[in-house]
Amino acid sequence: MNKVFETADDAVADITSGSSLAVGGFGLAGIPATLIAALARTDVGDLRAVSNNCGTDEFGLGILLGAGKISKMTSSYIGENAEFARQYLGGELEVELVPQGTLAERLRAGGCGIPAFYTPTGVGTLVGDGGLPLRYGQDGSVALASQPKEQRVFGERTYVLEHAITVDFALVHARRADEFGNLVFRESARNFNPLAAMAGRVTIVEAEEILPVGGLDPDDIHLPGLFVQRIVLVPPGTEKTIERHTTRPRASVA
């Protein structure tokens, strides 16, 4: 039951062009940077990625985007990635913008075997009524727009039907893992990582520490190894960063 791979390159070796990916992280917090870098070293392309955002121009999924390896993004926002905005507005990239909570629930539902669910989020907007630009033409016109979604009234409130998300592969970052794939996430890295892991048919985890089976207290486990197929150790000294540093003088200094 040992799921540990020697290198990240080995762990992502069977990801092929046209694959769908769910990638954990929020901004740059908790992104699987080691696995993304390994995937960037391959010649795969036409990837359809599902992630809260697309990193920055120089980090995270932005590396794959800048290399022209992603053809579609399903995300909550554009974020700090200027290349993401350029490709979307220039008609080079298909983008499905999804409300953040809805995106999280679509991934969770996929992992739980729930095909679809109703939510009030998006009612009365382009999300529910259709017309949200998915792809622009080079002249700035809308080349492809979203279709209206099924809506239904429960009680006195209208809800939109949203479909679950499952993907070919999930790329996830964890603080600790054991060899069976039980995972512990640290603080804000426990964002989209568990949900992405659940939605993947093959889930690949990079962990900062890998312990033998039994090395994790069962009460500390955030995601059971049932959802994990592969684990790789994050190399020591791997860079961690965030999108934007916001600081102000402390009162004692001022």
- Give the mean model confidence (pLDDT) for residues 215-233: 95
Contact 135, 144 (CB under 8 A): yes
Protein fold of 8-115+164-233: Glutaconate Coenzyme A-transferase (3.40.1080)
191 vs 239: CA distance, rounded Å: 19
The model's pTM: 0.90
| pLDDT tens by residue, 145-176 | 999 999 999 999 999 999 999 999 999 999 99
Paired with 145 in beta bridges are 133
Taking every pair of Cα atoms in the chain, the longest distance, rounded to a whole number of angstroms, is: 59
Query: ∠ at Cα 198 (109, 39), nearest 5°?
Result: 125
**Residue 236 CA from chain centroid, whole number:** 23
**What pLDDT is recorded for position 244?**
67
pLDDT for 215 beyond 80: yes
What does the alpha-carbon distance between residue 190 and residue 2 come to, in Å, rounded to a whole number? 24
Residue listed under structure tokens 């964890």: 174
Percent of the chain with pLDDT over 90: 80
Reported as a pLDDT band with limits 50, 70 and 90, residue 205 is very high
Domain boundaries, the chain: 8-115+164-233
Give 39-75 as a DSSP string: HHTS----EEEE-SS--BTTBTHHHHHHTT-EEEEEE
- Please, what is the average pLDDT of the chain? 92
The residue with greater pLDDT, 62 or 79, is 62
* pLDDT per residue as tens digits for the range 69-126: 999 999 998 877 889 999 999 999 999 999 999 999 999 999 999 999 999 999 999 9
- Give yes or no for residue 253 having a pLDDT over 70: no
